Structure 1
């Protein structure tokens, strides 16, 4: 009995999984102790979600072994996992907004008397569960009238009511303010005191150190580190996630990276920009003829900042200036009309229109100017398309070829051409080389550099640090929605970028963004 009590609650060993022949997990492992809060971290595509879905029965593993509470398990559905003692609280809460708090806690397991739901008993039990978590809420209230934090506590109460031994929390703090985060942490500590283990998936480093006992780091489908939180400082955590050795990250020569003359008026100037919970105080400038890199870990607010500039996300505070004039967009159409372009990170979902031709995709933004009396000027369209196919060296069988048939690199070139064929002053690129082969990456990055050399202001979001160190004249590091460091010239190195990502402090007057 003592032996079983001291054994891990969960052991996942040599887990493998492939989709269409592409390996998503390669001998991954995860060990969770009893009454332990365990951080599971890694960048996008590291394999965290796949590992959790295999554990909870959403995916079937190709190989490996899973033991839970001393027994070999192989759940085939999430419901089986739930009944087996594993509950998952997803970032997007799977609750029913129009049902009451109590109904959400006991959904499908309502206490009954004489075949009917025993409402007084359900309300009493729901109140007792929430009180144990230190939450005072009206359990009769429809859930949609409760704030996000209370909804999250309802999800936790539901897990506790099902006698879960392991609770998985996927980015649980992403929609919470500081006070609500503290409430969540208190509840997590209460779960631990009651003998429940927690897998805590988060990108916020401070939170990991505040509440977690140990950490597992994943990268490229593999487990690359398993340590006590106290044995890894923040810089080690970041370098492990990104797969970088500090000794190998050397600053480039200042002669190769001198920042351009910035005495000219900035194309874009952000001062203490705020939007939702992801952008808190983003402050930086982008000048004509320069590439400014935007760095940060997953969840740092990079994409959300770019979407604010493009009018896709609402700005809640701060100031945004374009060529010296304060601006406030109601929609992306406003930003486009003022010469702002944005290439989304998700090329397939938010970029290309797969069933349309190269020509149609390329001239999409310009189309209103090519139409007269409801008819597209095909000759003008063809001239523009041929010009940019030649200029960007887009490999296609012809302008009428469907864009879905092109390689990732050539699709990205078409999207670049889409903006370049209309007049733009600012080009924002979110992970412009993601999903592109090595040869095409170099082509895209060199093209971006040429555009900047021609006077275009470029803001480039990139997770690949070598891209930022090789191509950006300045690098702004975001952390939890704050601009925490600006690097330029010889300061730009992978070491300095990672140190800024890991640093717990916010920018001071001396090191803040100008």
Structure 2
């Protein structure tokens, strides 16, 4: 039986200064289905959804919900009309508690005046129980890991009794166990008759969870196919317009002598306790572990942006203290953070400013002023090396897609010519073609005898790029494995050691 069309977007066009983001793109979502939306970074996926959700005003085209033409002026109007979106970049009131974040702007009142705290709590618990989310409604958002905050955002979308829910890279910060939980929620929503639009770069997820897949390229519509008819190779070919046979570049780096020594690293306000390891010149070392295992905290303490309570760091035989980011950069360290929007980009600045901000000293002419020519040259190198899609160097970074923002930040750190590069989820929200390019840049650095340490939630990525993998569990180092000979099962066993 043919399923009822729930949402129809016809010939949507959207232009920004200097770039045509969407060029006559159409999308049809049926009731009770999961419709995946795929494409490289900058293909226009998020832009299309923002036109639906009222964040952007489309230039032309029509949108129909249950046969009725809609044209939302803002996200509030979209939510009130049963269209919700779980954004890739979380935008939450971190100083408020969980239930405030869910019901903000629509608090139930007592006698139309007082906020009914009891009802808010009970309503939050009801949504959480239905979705099997184990989070205290009174917990302050800033005290929670990204993955739990993501679950709160999903619960918020469900609380609007939405007919259409857009998930934009929902698993980019989730562990495998949390991904399974999310899929359970999505299947439950599908069974209730919701239309789910699912944006992801993860092929295995798409093929597993989706009913239909629409593929976009460079702001245009390419194809819509049944998920069961597709293979990973076919999706990649449609997305990038070319064959991409190998997921990872060949490893050509040869680790040398020990360069970085970390001893008994412990943190004051996190789980990190007594972590020790060495990394050799030209070696790529991965850090695996479940959410909350101390992976990110380990990098943050090495880079000096978290409060260390004990431990020593030695680079090339010399002690380094790395008491803050400025000192770390001076000592030859660079760090790509997990949450690019909160701790990576300077949203109001352009691409050039975001690219050179960590290496301004080399652009000073006669120690008096910054050389435009020098900054422009380095920015162009970064754009070319990363294949960043942007109209110009002076485009505001917030106008770029999430993946292209990530490329700008990585380029920024490469320009500081670091001896030690710390990467926290370097390919989060990045398409398959761009991932390969970033892997190649990582291996190029290793070939230049640099030290690379990368945290990733994607096990195949760690196995494909790294030489060794350190496994964290409960804030401690649970073990170390050789990436060539280990298995995902061995890594997961170590990850659960101290849980």
TM-score (normalizing by structure 2):
0.60
Superposed CA deviations along residues 63-96 of structure 1, whole A, max 9, x for unmatched, are: 2222222222221211221122101222314356
Kept in 1, the 8 Å contact 2:320–2:331? The answer is no
Are 2:478 and 1:485 aligned? no
Superposed CA deviations along residues 286-344 of structure 1, whole A, max 9, x for unmatched, are: 85xx899x9xxxxxxxx9999998666899xxx99744789784434444444456899
Structure 1 counterpart of 2:56: 59
2:244 and 2:15 map into 1 onto residues whose CA distance is 32
Structure 1 counterpart of 2:191: 193
Residues 211/100 of structure 1: CA separation in 2 closer, same or farther (3 Å cut): same
SS at 2:464's partner residue?
strand
SS at 2:197's partner residue?
strand
Residues 238/269 of structure 1: CA separation in 2 closer, same or farther (3 Å cut): farther
Structure 2 counterpart of 1:265: 257
1:15 and 1:284 map into 2 onto residues whose CA distance is 53
Structure 2 counterpart of 1:297: none
Kept in 2, the 8 Å contact 1:12–1:30? The answer is yes
Residues 309/95 of structure 1: CA separation in 2 closer, same or farther (3 Å cut): closer
Kept in 2, the 8 Å contact 1:291–1:474? The answer is yes
Q: 1:191, CA displacement in angstroms?
A: 1.3
Q: 1:99, CA displacement in angstroms?
A: 4.7
Q: 1:32, CA displacement in angstroms?
A: 1.8
Are 2:377 and 1:409 aligned? yes
Q: 1:150, CA displacement in angstroms?
A: 5.4
Could you list the runs of 5+ residues in structure 1 that have no partner in the other structure? 277-282, 295-302, 365-381, 387-398, 416-428, 439-444, 489-505
Moved more, 208-217 or 109-118: 109-118
Structure 2 counterpart of 1:184: 182
SS at 2:463's partner residue?
strand
Are 2:484 and 1:509 aligned? yes
Residues 353/30 of structure 1: CA separation in 2 closer, same or farther (3 Å cut): closer
Kept in 2, the 8 Å contact 1:17–1:24? The answer is yes
Please give the residue correspondences for 1:396-475 in structure 2 after superposition, counting only pairs within 5 Å: 403=371, 408-411=376-379, 434=388, 463=434, 472=444
Superposed CA deviations along residues 211-258 of structure 1, whole A, max 9, x for unmatched, are: 333333333222334333333333444454444225899x99xxxx98
Residues 284/185 of structure 1: CA separation in 2 closer, same or farther (3 Å cut): farther
Are 2:14 and 1:17 aligned? yes
Residues 469/112 of structure 1: CA separation in 2 closer, same or farther (3 Å cut): closer
Residues 47/408 of structure 1: CA separation in 2 closer, same or farther (3 Å cut): farther
1:138 and 1:459 map into 2 onto residues whose CA distance is 33
Moved more, 166-175 or 235-244: 235-244
Kept in 2, the 8 Å contact 1:307–1:313? The answer is yes
Structure 2 counterpart of 1:129: 127
Residues 181/246 of structure 1: CA separation in 2 closer, same or farther (3 Å cut): closer
2:153 and 2:7 map into 1 onto residues whose CA distance is 22
Are 2:70 and 1:73 aligned? yes
Are 2:216 and 1:218 aligned? yes
Kept in 1, the 8 Å contact 2:304–2:322? The answer is yes
Moved more, 167-176 or 342-351: 342-351
Superposed CA deviations along residues 86-111 of structure 1, whole A, max 9, x for unmatched, are: 01222314356435627833742515
Q: 1:184, CA displacement in angstroms?
A: 2.6
Match of residue 324, structure 2, among 331, 334, 359: 331
SS at 1:32's partner residue?
strand
Q: Which has the larger radius of gyration?
A: 1
Are 2:4 and 1:7 aligned? yes
2:127 and 2:333 map into 1 onto residues whose CA distance is 51
Structure 2 counterpart of 1:391: none
Kept in 1, the 8 Å contact 2:107–2:115? The answer is no
2:385 and 2:307 map into 1 onto residues whose CA distance is 22
Residues 35/320 of structure 1: CA separation in 2 closer, same or farther (3 Å cut): farther
Superposed CA deviations along residues 387-446 of structure 1, whole A, max 9, x for unmatched, are: xxxxxxxxxxxx977545778435457x9xxxxxxxxxxxxx9955646999xxxxxx9x
Could you list the runs of 5+ residues in structure 2 that have no partner in the other structure? 271-276, 287-295, 393-410, 428-433, 468-480, 488-499
Would you say how many aligned residue pairs link Structure 1 and Structure 2?
A: 412
